[in-house]
Amino acid sequence: MKIGNIKIDFPVLLAPMAGFTDYPFRVLCKRMGAGLVYSEFVSADGIIRENQRTIEMIHFNEEERPIGIQIFGNDPDTMKKAASFIDKKFNPDIIDINYGCPVPKVTKKGGGSAALKDLCLMDEITHAVIEAVPNIPVTVKMRAGWDNDSLIIPNAGERLQNIGIKAITLHPRTTKQRYKGKANWDLIKVLKQNVSIPVIGNGDIYCVDDIKRMYDYTGCDAVMIARAAQGNPWIFREAKKFFNNENYSNSPGLIEIAEMCIDHFNILINTRGQCIGMNLMRKHLSNYLKGFPGAAQYRQKLVTAATFEIMKNELADLKKFATVTTK
């Protein structure tokens, strides 16, 4: 699959997720086989003000390529300036526009999926970003509409394609649904039938079997993984086995889980320092150890570890426990 001039070798992608898809998590998913990774969504306002925290969220390593930087905002000129800044300072492979975030603190300011209520504004923002970065493919991640009475698929997809968008990721829920109910995969199928650019399916993917079902049912060009990758970067490796007609598993072994926890911890400490790295690691540990048999005692010790040495030692004990249990 190609998005503009960017070749994507493997059509299972890591979604942008606020609070999760920072450098350490992205690089682990890339090493597991993700065909394309995205940054956390970043505010166009924060970018043009050169807010330090916002700029830090954009930084990436060459190992992560191809990588997309996702931006959100409600003003075409601000979005244009932000895209140009990212292009000149960071040169990512793709810039993605967020028309999908349903969180009220974003939509109340006109960002994210609020644009779906005003397709003319969506057109203006999209055109402005594309104009700002003529040498970088611009993509969109969007929802199906604001509510069930205002679905915009396939109309919005056709409009975006005509403006120059190079790929569309569709999460086929409405803004009002947020993450409740079921994602309507029929809308992915309809979008695919009405545009010629790549369509990336997203929503209700929990395991490799779901990836297969989405491909078969919708005919999409790629599948984007979000929450299913939290605590489970292996989903990309196992999906690749599926595509290669090899035997695959929907869950990793205990030793792999322990080793991934240690790898993730070390990358966080090396890139963010001990204090911040430990705090960030706590939420990941809860995800990694969910369902880990007999590991409740370790999970409690790890998420409450008061010092770097304690957390490091508890992770080493976790690996010993996994090794003994697996024998």
Distance CA 288, CA 209 (A): 20
Reduce the secondary structure of 109-162 to three states and give it as a string: CCCHHHHHHCHHHHHHHHHHHHHHCCCCCEEEEEECECCCCCECCCHHHHHHHH
120 tagged catalytic: no
Distance of CA 290 to the CA centre of its chain: 20
Distance CA 3, CA 10 (A): 12
Structure tokens at 153: 């698929």
Q: Which of 29, 101, 220, 261 is catalytic?
A: 101
Share of the chain residues as helix, strand and coil, in percent rounded to the nearest 5: 50, 15, 35
Interior/surface letters 274-286, b for 16+ CB within 10 angstroms, e for the rest: eeebbebbeebbe
Q: Vertex 208, ends 174 and 36: CA angle to 5°?
A: 70
- Match 């990309």 to its residue by tokens: 236
- Cβ-defined contacts of 113-117 (< 8 Å, 24+): 113/142, 113/143, 113/146, 113/175, 114/74, 114/175, 115/74, 116/142, 116/143, 116/145, 116/146, 116/150, 116/152, 116/156, 116/175, 117/146, 117/150
CB atoms within 10 A of CB 186: 13
Distance CA 191, CA 170 (A): 8
CB atoms within 10 A of CB 42: 25
Do 265 and 277 touch, CB atoms closer than 8 A? yes
Which residues belong to the active site?
101
